[in-house]
Amino acid sequence: MSELFDAVDALVASRSPLPPPEERKRLRVAHGLTLDEVAAALKVRRATVSGWESAKKPTEPRGPEREAYARLLTQLANLYPAPPAPEPAAPAPAASTVESAPPAAHTPSTGPVPEDGAMTAHEAPAPVAAAPAAATRPARTAASSTARRPDARKDRPDARKAAPAGTPAGGTGPGFENGPLAVVDVEDGQVLAYCTGGLVLDVPAKSIPALAEWALGEARLGQPRLSGPGKDADPLLVLTEAALKRYGLPVSLTDGERLAGRLPEGHKVVKQLARADWKLTKRGFGPWARIYRPAQGSKRACVQLCVPSWHALDSRHWGRAGQLPAPELARVLGVYASRVMTPRGSTAVTGLELMTALHPPTRASEPGADGRRCSEHNPGSLGKDPVDCAPCEAPDGHPLLKDLPRFHVRGPAEKLFEEAYDWARPMTDAECTRRHLVGIDVNMAFAAGANGLTVGLGAPTRVRNPVFDPKLPGSWLVDLSHVDLSRVRIGKDRWADLDAGLLPSPFTPKGDRPEGPAWYATPTVAYAVELGYEVRPVEAWVRHESGRYLDGWYNRLRDAFLATMADLGVHADMAPADFLAAMDGYRERDPELAIVVSAIKATVKGGIGKLRERPRGEGWRPGEPWRALSRPTWRPDIRAAVISRTRVNLHRKIVKHAAFTGQYPVAILSDCVVYASNGPSPLDFLPYRDGKPLPGGFKLGINPGLVKHEGTQSVLWGEEVRERFDAPDLNLARYIKDGTVTDVDNGE
């Protein structure tokens, strides 16, 4: 009889109800589980679990896997119930429509990953992505004082004051009905807050302390957490010049204040905050100020301020955003916040904060005997305590190197040096007979390099004479000078004969062939093995605790990039010619969204660069620790691994292209590659057959890792520039976009 009961139980379990794919993914992420962990527990492949969570083409588990999966989801749903839907807001009069914003010029930069500046202290994750609306939304109502619920300023004659088309609506969580942020401006003596979705609020606050109180209470600003163990995002208030004047703040900082990065402690507004029991972080009241009160229990009280006229929005990454009218600026920052996260500082700071928001260092434990939960390590995160890097991974001046002789210069056998390409060579006679130099650029190259990358999560372990393991993240001291690019393996049983003199080495940023043992990250050494050569490391610093820490970070930034480019008319899976046509002038279709694209790209590069942030003044001396070292996210090994993999990915495509076409690059700068071509288009030298690209080679498209047209100049231009500056190895990839040549110094 028990066998019959077991059979009946199995039959019922085979039809166990499951939540929608989106909810399945939410529950897994909320508990900090990776796809690999779930797959291992259920004894299925990682791709199988990914298919169960796919929003586009979901698959359904069957048999015993379905029963176990349903049980897992049920337990997670008990721990992380879905947030209740917000109550519908009371109807409000519609706001007026808006004029289009002035064009925002921007040129995306190509170059190595920066080690961007200091990170503002404090926590707080961020929002859930939301696509911009196709048309202007009417403004919604929200309380802006204890006495009344004002309308959406429908009587305002200036049409600029309503939100532009394509602004996301307000927040999605309780308490965040008015969105993640507001741009505070003054019109006709009235202080107004321009929120996302076209909402305009009256602001009753008469001082900065009162403004902080209003933002945390009646304004209902903020965003839900990105991960279950994380924290909701704090409200962001952006102060225009008119608002600065109203609240007693300078429109611009003096030279001394700008160098210090803050207002002096004796400024009247800083004193006002202190009298009202508000505190500032160590960064003080600067372009990105954080005002907070110490947390009481689980309740936080923190407001972020952004001051564009103090250069909070770097024009290299945000274009003309700082000069936009308040409604347009609210739209730009709102789209970015909904798709990436509420800005926490520079794009570099935000990129790093996004990593933590997706993988908080701690989570709540299971209830104890008394029913209470405590804080415990969140699996898959970097933890809450910093770890020392390996000596070879430490940048110059690090405390680990304080015993080195003064002025000692570390060579490749002492220092890990994984950086992006900056390589060029003279053109051959055959290349000089061609008419054009065509540059192609890899979309979101460093994001693509981070995708699926296994990185170390804990401290390194030193190993002598190790056997190389491509699955083990770390740094390896190994001699790769024997790798000969004239004959390399390009497939399982396929070898190619190449002209090694026309190729850069994949092992050094300058493309020079190694001369002896040197330190390399795991992806670089693994590529030497892939090319068909044996490696014998002498020493290694490896990390046995590892995981795909950056996968969620990549996915969110990829989705933000693709969604914004789609709004600009550039879609994934377009035919090559259609893609090139769509990319032509895409920024002019919506200059505001083009700013968002630029900021997303900068978030990728800056976030990776922040993993090895260097000292920024503050009286630092070599051998002493600097502020960034106290962060768990100060991880130069992760930065090196991402750059290593990005460079290797590019070299692999170059080798495949050379083996198939006989064409070699003449210059490479980071993610931009230049080829000599008989025609001006990438289609004139990229091999496509029946619309299909060379497998493993370059493919035109908007997805991260695919390439776009960077620019075309004539071969005569290239030769003339090199001759004019007496620099036969001048890196033409640096200037291929518009042909303007600056900052030339002996070919560097």
Look-up of token digits 């002096």: 264
- Lowest mean pLDDT across 31-35, 224-228, 361-365, 495-499: 31-35
- Segment 537-550 mean pLDDT: 97
Confidence of residue 77 (pLDDT cuts 50, 70, 90): confident
Amino acid at the residue 599: A
Q: Are residues 212 and 332 in the same domain?
A: yes
Amino acid at the residue 81: P
pLDDT at 323 over 90: yes
Q: Residue 565: its pLDDT value, please?
A: 97
Kind and range of the H or E element at 497? Answer: strand 495-497
Domain that holds residue 213: 159-345
Q: Residue 49: its pLDDT value, please?
A: 87
Q: Residue 133: its pLDDT value, please?
A: 41
- Lowest mean pLDDT across 84-88, 303-307, 732-736: 84-88
pLDDT at 110 over 60: no
In a domain, 270, yes or no: yes
pLDDT at 16 over 70: no
Distance CA(113)–CA(603), nearest Å, equals: 11
First to last CA, the chain: 83
Q: Are residues 195 and 338 in the same domain?
A: yes
Distance CA(256)–CA(160), nearest Å, equals: 36
Which range among 219-228, 291-300, 604-613 has the greatest average pLDDT? Answer: 604-613
pLDDT at 356 over 70: yes
pLDDT > 70 in the chain, percent: 84
Confidence of residue 745 (pLDDT cuts 50, 70, 90): low
pLDDT at 104 over 60: no
In a domain, 106, yes or no: no
Q: Which position has the higher pLDDT, 90 or 699?
A: 699
Q: Of 79, 111, 132, which closes a domain?
A: 79
- Segment 66-93 mean pLDDT: 70
In a domain, 132, yes or no: no
Distance CA(178)–CA(577), nearest Å, equals: 42
Task: Report helix angle 326-339 to 551-567, nearest 10.
Answer: 140
In a domain, 91, yes or no: no
pLDDT at 111 over 80: no
Q: Which two tokens stand for residue 462?
A: 């030193």
In a domain, 40, yes or no: yes
Q: Of 31, 48, 79, which closes a domain?
A: 79
Q: Are residues 196 and 336 in the same domain?
A: yes
- Segment 200-225 mean pLDDT: 95
Q: Return all residues near 400 (Cβ < 8 A) that are at least 6 apart.
A: 388, 389, 391, 394
- Segment 94-120 mean pLDDT: 41
Torsional class of 441: left (φ above 0), alpha (ψ -120 to 50), beta (otherwise): beta
Q: Are residues 72 and 219 in the same domain?
A: no
Distance CA(155)–CA(98), nearest Å, equals: 14
In a domain, 192, yes or no: yes
Kind and range of the H or E element at 442? Answer: strand 436-442
Confidence of residue 268 (pLDDT cuts 50, 70, 90): very high
- Lowest mean pLDDT across 62-71, 405-414, 524-533, 738-747: 738-747
Question: Pairing mode, if any, of strands 495-497 and 200-202?
Answer: unpaired
CATH code: domain of residue 66: 1.10.260
Which range among 57-61, 625-629, 688-692 has the greatest average pLDDT? Answer: 625-629
Distance CA(438)–CA(714), nearest Å, equals: 8
Q: Which position has the higher pLDDT, 375 or 105?
A: 375
How many structural domains comprise the chain?
2
pLDDT at 174 over 70: no
> Is-above-0.75 flag for pTM?
yes
Confidence of residue 169 (pLDDT cuts 50, 70, 90): low
Q: Are residues 46 and 172 in the same domain?
A: no
Q: Residue 94: its pLDDT value, please?
A: 36
420 close to 509: Cβ distance less than 8 angstroms = yes
Closest CA to 602 of 343, 230, 419: 343
Q: Are residues 71 and 194 in the same domain?
A: no
Mean pLDDT, the chain, rounded, equals: 86
Q: Are residues 197 and 320 in the same domain?
A: yes
Q: Which two tokens stand for residue 109?
A: 């930069």
pLDDT at 633 over 70: yes
Q: Residue 85: its pLDDT value, please?
A: 56
pLDDT in tens, 440-472: 999 999 999 999 999 999 999 999 999 999 999
Q: Are residues 236 and 327 in the same domain?
A: yes
In a domain, 201, yes or no: yes
Q: Return all residues near 369 (Cβ < 8 A) that are at least 6 apart.
A: none
Q: Of 345, 366, 399, which closes a domain?
A: 345
Q: Which two tokens stand for residue 481?
A: 């000078």
Q: Residue 9: its pLDDT value, please?
A: 57
Q: Which two tokens stand for residue 449?
A: 């390099």
Q: Which two tokens stand for residue 560?
A: 């933000």
- Lowest mean pLDDT across 50-64, 113-127, 384-398: 113-127
90 by Cβ neighbours in 10 Å (0-12 / 13-18 / 19+) ranks as exposed
Q: Which position has the higher pLDDT, 459 or 163?
A: 459
Q: Residue 54: its pLDDT value, please?
A: 82
Closest CA to 346 of 111, 612, 609, 564: 609
305 close to 138: Cβ distance less than 8 angstroms = no
The residue length of the chain stands at 748
Q: Residue 96: its pLDDT value, please?
A: 34
Distance CA(732)–CA(747), nearest Å, equals: 10
pLDDT at 56 over 90: no
Confidence of residue 3 (pLDDT cuts 50, 70, 90): low
pLDDT in tens, 657-692: 999 999 999 999 999 999 999 999 999 999 998 888
pLDDT at 93 over 70: no
Q: Are residues 52 and 175 in the same domain?
A: no
pLDDT at 139 over 80: no
Closest CA to 524 of 476, 463, 582, 577: 476
In a domain, 209, yes or no: yes
Q: Return all residues near 706 (Cβ < 8 A) that are at least 6 apart.
A: 442, 443, 698, 699, 700
- Scanning 507-590, the segments in alpha helix (DSSP H) are 522-530, 551-567, 576-583, 586-589
